[in-house]
Amino acid sequence: MPQPETVPVFIGGEWQASSATDTSPVYNPSDGTQIAATPMGDATEVGRAIEAAHAAFPEWAETPAVDRARVLFAFKQLLEDHFEELSQIVTREHGKTLEESRGSVRRGIEVVEFACGAPSLLMGESLENIARGIDCDTIRQPLGVSVAISPFNFPVMVPLWTLPVAIACGNTFVLKPSEKVPLSAIRMIELLEEAGCPKGVVNLVHGGKGAVDTLLTHPDVRTVSFVGSTPIAKYVYETATRAGKRVQSAGGAKNYMIVLPDADVDSTIDAVMGSAYGCAGERCMAGSVLVCAEDAGSRFLDPLSDAARKMRVGPTDRDPDSQMGAVVTRQHLESLHASIEEGLREGAELFVDGRDVKVEGAPDGFYLGPTVFDKVQPNMSIARNELFGPVLSVMHTDDLQGAVERCNNSGFGNAAVLFTSSGAAARTFRHHVNAGMVGINVGVPAPMAFFPFSGWNNSFFGDLHVQGHEGVSFFTRQKVTINRWIDTKRYF
């Protein structure tokens, strides 16, 4: 059997073989086969990419914003033309259902659409006569080389959170995708090259900690964007800020969904299922804790467990009826199994055991079915740690206040959701919950491209979030000019 192909790097406008000798396997999670290998690039190779971006920066920064936008318009059209191809690549290397992959690619394209408005987004402000005869204005200017280190769970969407905004603002870019899912990012950069992006403006490298540390500390890097687990997000933030970089570092989450007895049963069950088990739970916006306040558990727990048992788990690359796919690697599957065992040892009650799932025709796939724990207590590991898989922990409280307190004590702050038909309860929840993205009868309150992805607490390290106007602010710095012209000729 031939060895899987080692994927290339893209440096200074050229696709080339990596100089790395070590590689990391890329799997199709649906059947467990290796489909590619990712080179684990070193500091020298990453440094070449940064140098290429640094060399391309002066010309790109001077390129009119309208011309930069035209490259993005062409890129957006190519993404549309290859939408189905990109979605299938995501499904093949990640394991999402095709519908989920399409949704994630669409969300990425929406950020490109937003960035196409660069001429308007980059406009400054002005005020005449801040004092007699003195005017003041602001302009936005790019910073230099921007770096993005992206996770495995959204191979197209997360890179597109930052790349189009960064280059629209006049920065150049180095992307390091997850070694687990390089194929989507490679195809995306090929399309950007086809759209007319000048050589060196965007570069792509691969690697592990050594590559990451180079990206975080290289003197020519000005901004760092990261998405991943909280421990690594904190490390990225602390390391890069010590090196003088501007950083936005998104971490993990433990997102609470609270249900009140007055919530609509059918729509709530659908929303909870989508939140807990969409993308096999491998997303930082997944609802991983369901708190049944008052006596809501008597209405919701049985139908929820029934829906979980009936969910169709299968090979998403060839079964269009699969409602949930595999997790990304066997190592991650084993970690999830260990977490389930730990939950049992701590005394949680396993209502639905996803380890029992059987997937016909894919014995080597990395499958864990929907799992439901009941009677989970806040001190249990399955309640405190981000498992990043299709495991839902159910808690019970006497009232909404107790449910919100449990959410606020989690230490994270990405998303929090309430299911209710009471406007007063919804307003109280929105005001008091300690999370940056709030859903009312919405299971996954992920904002559109023109709003910030606004994680709080241990879910985000930095000041300016990805997406929206905060993204534009992150990738630019403001220059204030105060003008005074002495009218010696007395024109008026």
Residues designated catalytic: 284
* Burial zone of 220 (CB within 10 Å; 0-12 exposed, 13-18 middle, 19+ buried): middle
Residue 248: C-alpha distances to residues 54, 392, 487 (Å): 20, 29, 46
Neighbours of 456 (CB within 10 A): 17
- DSSP single-letter state for residue 278: G
Position of tokens 């629209």? 168
Q: How far is CA 4 from CA 26, 27, 37, 90, 286, in A?
A: 9, 10, 6, 18, 33
Q: Which of 60, 248, 4, 20 lies closest to 150, judged by CA?
A: 248
For residues 205 and 47, give the distance between their C-alpha atoms in angstroms, rounded to a whole number: 10
| Residue 221 main-chain phi, psi, to 5 deg | -85, 135
Q: Would you state the structure tokens that stand for residue 464, as one six-digit string?
A: 């300016």
Give the containing element (helix H, strand E) for 67: helix 65-81
Q: Which of 448, 131, 416 lies closest to 286 in space, CA to CA?
A: 416
What's the CA gap between 118 and 54, in Å, rounded?
21
- Residue 191 is which amino acid? L
DSSP codes of every residue in 207-219: -SHHHHHHHHH-T
Q: How far, in Å, CA of 450 to CA of 470, rounded? A: 9
Contact residues for 171 (Cβ-Cβ < 8 A; gap 6+): 57, 60, 61, 142, 143, 144, 145, 146, 222, 223, 475
